[in-house]
Amino acid sequence: MKYAVKTWSLLLTLILGLALPALSFAVETSEESGLPERVKKLEEAMDIADMSRWFERISLSGLIEVEAGYENIDYDDPAANDEDSSDLTLATVELGIDIDFIKHVSGQVLLLWEEDETEPLDVDEAFIRLDGEDVLPLYLQAGKIYVPFGNFETHFISDPNTLELGETRESAAVVGYANDLFDLSLGVFNGDLEEEDQDDHIDSFVASGVFTLPEESVPGLALATGLSWISNIADSDLLTDTIEDAAEDAAVDAFIDNKVDGLAAFLIATLNERWTLIAEYVGALDEFDDADPGLGGLEPKTWNFELGCAVTDALTVATKYEGGDDLGDLLPDEQYGIVASYSLFKYTTLALEYLHGEFENDDERDLATAQLAFEF
């Protein structure tokens, strides 16, 4: 036994004595041949690959709009001087960042800059979205969003009166169910305007239902229609600003006596990918209290009808008629116009628009706008 141990000890000593110099020589040779440098480059390549996969999950989109406009206002009051003006502006700069790192979870950030409107840069939207995708057709969207009230589709450069009256941007949480036919949603948020003597709580609600006709159902016809409701239409951006400005002028608090529900409905139909009809209604379901600043006794409502024709793949022409009631001097009671847009290059569009509007007090406005837009 002792003999065997001595034999194995001697053999191990001999192996180490031969192997160590060889191992040392191999390491020196590897260093001389640039192995550490190759390992470093491999690690850098792996980092670049990881970064590339990371960037693949982020997509960027953007919009740049430059506009030249002419406006003429003809006042009904003979004592008032008519006005006309023209301007050239960088009307819109948008940058959207969409992040989709893992299944069922995504996020979006939309940065917005509008000359004389949102200076400096504004975070227009930022939200997290959870969805079931192929597991469950449910989703949750939470953050700063435009709540699902109204649709506001248009062929025109200028926003339709339905958008002006109903657009509502809030920090909200929206849950929904969506499949190929339906998108049903319910949202909650803390509106900017509260009822007088009420505490500040998350007590504003919005609900929406949209139906989309499958393309194969009726050959040549694409159809979408929807209905939405909001518990306090005074939370819309326009009406909130109106109430706050009137309250400031009157040196009173910006409150409302009672919340007024709002209703919106729309229909968009496209025939043979050429003719497109847009119809939409947005309005309050009751009058505001007489004591509400800027809106006392009013029940604002508006509607928009547009018919567009894709004359060629590049050229689209559309006409519109929109009207309303109890809009005061906020928006025209009647407005009609025409627009033509031409795709100059890929992602680049030139549009020309003319609108004539008549207000409740019989003032009239003519507006001509040219826009060069680049969208990517």
- In tens, the pLDDT along 287-341 reads 999 989 999 999 999 999 999 999 999 999 999 999 999 998 899 999 999 999 9
Residue 127, pLDDT score: 97
Residues 218 and 160 in one domain: yes
Residue 74, pLDDT score: 95
Q: What whole-number distance in Å separates Cα of residue 130 and Cα of residue 148? A: 17
> 244-250: long-range contacts at Cβ-Cβ below 8 A with a sequence spacing of 24 or more?
244/192, 245/294, 246/293, 246/294, 246/295, 247/293, 247/294, 250/293
Answer with the one of 38, 56, 74 that is the final residue of a domain.
56
Residues 19 and 72 in one domain: no
Residue 205, pLDDT score: 98
Residues 52 and 188 in one domain: no
Residues 291 and 323 in one domain: yes
Domain enclosing residue 321, as ranges: 60-375
Element (H, E) at 25: helix 2-32
Q: How many domains are there within the chain?
A: 2
Find all residues with CB under 8 Å of 73, minimum gap 6, and list them. 82, 83, 84, 363, 364, 365
Residue 93, pLDDT score: 96
Residues 357 and 252 in one domain: yes
Q: CA dihedral in degrees (50, 51, 54, 56; nearest 10)?
A: -110
Answer with the one of 56, 76, 103 that is the final residue of a domain.
56
Residues 358 and 321 in one domain: yes
Q: pTM for the whole thing?
A: 0.84
Residue 39, pLDDT score: 55
Residues 42 and 134 in one domain: no
Residues 27 and 150 in one domain: no
Q: What whole-number distance in Å separates Cα of residue 227 and Cα of residue 150? A: 8
Residues 229 and 306 in one domain: yes
Q: What whole-number distance in Å separates Cα of residue 167 and Cα of residue 151? A: 9
Residues 2 and 117 in one domain: no
CATH of the domain at 361: 2.40.160.10
Which ranges of the chain have pLDDT less than 70? 1-54
Answer with the one of 23, 38, 56 that is the final residue of a domain.
56
Q: What whole-number distance in Å separates Cα of residue 59 and Cα of residue 127? A: 15
Residue 15, pLDDT score: 40
Residue 44, pLDDT score: 56
Residue 161, pLDDT score: 97
**Bridge partners of 172?**
143, 189
Residues 108 and 210 in one domain: yes
Angstrom CA distances, 260 to 151, 191, 282, stand at 20, 13, 13
Residues 49 and 68 in one domain: no
